[in-house]
Structure 1
């Protein structure tokens, strides 16, 4: 038992440090005393592992936010370029007007009067001048307004993109610090006995169940894409859990669902929260193979339903991709994306 007490004390320091780093993204928790038993040490490992998983998913969500803002900036740049191209199209006309001395005033009107052969000709020339003036003024006003709008949109998008990039950089810096704590977590997890490790992984993700035959599960899916996703996910059984990974040899939870549906030609974001907001909500009683099931509040874990009350998912560090009950602790709901 001395080994476990020593391990527990070392882990307590790591857990407290991790909790300090997580304060910006997770609700604060009270500091825990150093565990005195193997069971307490395992419980602390479990708690910290769950927090690290939440942070991992929050980073994924931040990355999606940055991508969206960068796309908005690119759209604004295209709008600005379009407005500038429109202005350039009218440049020859503007130069021609300037070269002939036309300003909409007296000189052009006098030239029209002197060059007219008749009263009707004068009226026609004066009308033409007025039309040109109105058209030119309208074009310049329209182009100037469009250019101003595009410039404003570009500036706003650039500012938003810069803020988002700065926020993501800060979050990545924090993630790097937490990654160090995750390394300590992994080391302490390795020091637990096999039985203690099972306690931790079972508490986080439920006990492993027998996997259904991929063909049978796929046949019950609501469509071909869901069937492919089920077969692909079940083909990853035994692959390790890797923080932030989306295959092909290691996965976190949303990385596995993303990988499985990519094989079916459906693009999913690498974020459990984002995946939970897609598709059509499905009641627990109406689950079908291929549905994405999600857990906790805020959402920080997902899996793929495979029928008979089971799901396949990348569970947690120390536990490979496996099939467990969909009724594990923290079940929140499900969506159908195919």
Structure 2
């Protein structure tokens, strides 16, 4: 353990990143300066938890941006379809113009005609043409308004998606900056202090059970494949925002493992915690997703015997731990 003088040299740096994270998440909370190395370790652990929450907010923002981009694409398609309908009236508009020119010639002819029957016939013809033209122009007017509105909707949707993407980029840059500062603070801790942080955030790692026995105890071949895929990642580093294959965050690992069974999960612990059916602690089966905290900001995969595999936290590789971790909030069965 470092002495107090050594520990205090980096307290300012640890405090700065932690205070920044606290301001973003709960502006009213004041952060007291630590006075011991143990307090500093606790402070770094709190920062790690806050960054996990921010990471989840980024995942949620990605889902929102993707939905807005899809909405913009759909609006653009509707605008193109509306314009195509409008363009379809072009031959009829040309016919109207041609008919108008012909009608003018006919009008001049029947006005000088000495036959009353010819006058009546010409008037009837002109009335029919006028009625047809009026109806057609009304249709074209409706099509024009629809095309204009569709273009306006598409432009608005595209602008909203672009603004959301720009905000997402800003948030990601901000979180990455905080992550870098957190990593530097974590590295300043002694090995014992780092162990305190890890235990606080994720609990101690346990020896992985034999994969074959875990797979054999799974309720289905698909669940067995999920567990097998997750256990194969044990030892790989925790990487914020990553879904593998060289490193993972928590929801990235679950997404990666479930993809082995052909199931695509959103890269978001909160979104994953809303999938499938709820499962009680006593009814957990291998392959179930377990989630933590409120709001949800961490997930893992249950492997049986009270254990789970998960991407725990920065500085610690993917590992098997007890499922009974701080903040346990529930489980979902997706398969």
* TM-score category, normalised to shorter length: 0.7 to 0.9
Structure 1 length as normaliser, TM-score? 0.86
- Contact 1:4/1:41 (<8 A) preserved: no
Tell me which moved more, 283-292 or 249-258. Answer: 283-292
Q: Quick check: 1:47 aligned with 2:52?
A: no
- Contact 1:247/1:259 (<8 A) preserved: yes
DSSP 3-state at the match of 2:25: coil
Structure 2 partner of 1:282: 279
- Contact 1:11/1:184 (<8 A) preserved: no
CA distance 1:122–1:54, shift in 2 (3 Å): same
After superposition, the C-alpha distances for 1:153-212 in whole angstroms (9 at most, x for unaligned) are 113212311321232132123123213312313322xx412x333222122112223433
Q: Quick check: 1:218 aligned with 2:218?
A: no
After superposition, the C-alpha distances for 1:299-334 in whole angstroms (9 at most, x for unaligned) are 111101111221110011222111112121101112
Structure 1 partner of 2:57: 58
CA RMSD of aligned residues (A): 3.1
Q: Distance in 1 between matches of 2:26 and 2:210?
A: 41
Q: Quick check: 1:308 aligned with 2:305?
A: yes
* Structure 1, unaligned runs of 5 or more: none
* Structure 2, unaligned runs of 5 or more: none
- Contact 2:18/2:43 (<8 A) preserved: no
Q: Distance in 2 between matches of 1:255 and 1:41?
A: 29
DSSP 3-state at the match of 2:15: helix
After superposition, the C-alpha distances for 1:251-289 in whole angstroms (9 at most, x for unaligned) are 111111111112222222222112222222222232221
- Contact 1:112/1:122 (<8 A) preserved: no
CA distance 1:108–1:22, shift in 2 (3 Å): farther
Structure 2 partner of 1:169: 169
Structure 2 length as normaliser, TM-score? 0.86
- Contact 1:21/1:177 (<8 A) preserved: no
DSSP 3-state at the match of 2:236: coil
Structure 1 partner of 2:153: 153
Q: Distance in 1 between matches of 2:286 and 2:97?
A: 71
Structure 2 partner of 1:331: 328
